[in-house]
Amino acid sequence: MKPFSTMPADVKQNIRYILTDIDDTLTDEGRLRAEAYTALERLRENGFVVIPITGRPAGWCDQIARMWPVDGVVGENGAFYFRYDDTSKKMIRRYATEDELRAQHKIKLAELGELVVEEVPGCAISADQAYRETDIAIDFCEDVPPLSSESVHKIKEICVKAGTTAKISSIHVNAWFGQYDKLAMSSRILKEEFNVELEAVREQVVYAGDSPNDAPMFGYFPNSVGVANVLEFEDTIEHKPSWITEKRGGSGFAQIADGLLAVK
């Protein structure tokens, strides 16, 4: 991982698309601070396509798509994208799976959540679960005292054994039925809403993240950037970002925005 400050000017000038994780990438200790929000706004006002890519729930993503200075949002780890059309005043919603199948999966995921809470002391169903449509989120440090790495991986193992896809973020273990992911839905929103093939613009994308569930995105995009707190996972993350900021969380994201805008 090379310091983001050393990214060449010509590479920065080629960037057109900003895809970014939210938790601990835009936020600091659970709060979205003015510095990071302003960075999103400045990027979009200067012509960048800005799309948060998050594990957060559909209810939150509706609000993000409507009210944040962004061009859409991919939520629940790639289960859907939402984009608010300012002209028609309508929300565009696209899902990876059909309505009936999502309803079936929701019942099974609720049962899985009960099993995990019973098997792993100290964890809890995430406080935002009521707003989710496609996955189960198990909290291991957001609203509960932090669990050990062994306990976190036990949660993931139980979920995988139940036949789900499971990913560890900086705060939750998310589990869902199906093979969709953040990368596939990122490709879909760019193609359907912006008429762009992801493969053709890989080098024009900055993906910003901070944790192991960002690894596939780090591995795919040559100009991926980790905010400084990604170093906490340096020994366990499968694919590391190409670049790393000096600052953590939202301040690190603001550093990315400053660097890109300085050469625009």
For the residues 183-201, what does the mean pLDDT come to? 97
pLDDT at 23: 95
Residue that has been written with the tokens 């799309």 in this structure:
51
Q: Given this model, what pLDDT does residue 170 score?
A: 87
117-173 pLDDT per residue, tens: 999 999 999 999 999 999 999 999 999 999 999 999 999 999 999 999 999 988 999
Q: What is the pTM of this model?
A: 0.92
Task: Reply yes or no on whether the pLDDT at 193 is more than 90.
Answer: yes
> Looking at residue 98, what is its pLDDT?
95
The answer on pLDDT for 264 being more than 90 is: no
CA distances from 28 to 77, 182, 256 (A): 20, 22, 16
- What pLDDT shows up at residue 213? 85
Question: For the chain, what are the domain ranges?
Answer: 2-96+180-262, 99-176
Percent of the chain surpassing pLDDT 90? 95
Taking the C-alpha atoms of residue 168 and residue 223, their distance in angstroms, rounded to an integer, is: 23
Say what the pLDDT of residue 47 is: 97
What pLDDT score does 176 carry? 96
The confidence score (pLDDT) of residue 212 equals 87
At 85-115, the pLDDT tens digits run 999 999 999 999 999 999 999 999 999 999 9
C-alpha–C-alpha distance, residues 175 and 247, integer Å: 30
Q: What number is the average pLDDT over the span 37-61?
A: 97
Specify whether the CB–CB gap between 233 and 209 falls below 8 A.
no
Say which CATH architecture domain 99-176 belongs to.
Answer: Alpha-Beta Complex (3.90)
Report pLDDT for 236: 85
Please tell us whether the domain made up of 2-96+180-262 is placed in CATH 3.40.50.1000.
Answer: yes
Pick from 92, 75, 52: nearest CA to 250: 52
Q: Is the pLDDT of residue 60 over 90?
A: yes
Model confidence band, residue 235 (pLDDT cutoffs 50, 70, 90):
confident
DSSP string, 240-258: --SEE-SS-HHHHHHHHHH
Crossing angle of helices 149-161/99-119, nearest 10°? 140
Looking at every residue in the chain, the average pLDDT score rounds to 96
In this predicted structure, what is the pLDDT of residue 64?
98
pLDDT in tens, 216-229: 999 999 999 999 99
Contacts of 142 (CB under 8 A, 6+ apart): 30, 126, 127, 171, 172
Span 28-35, mean pLDDT? 96
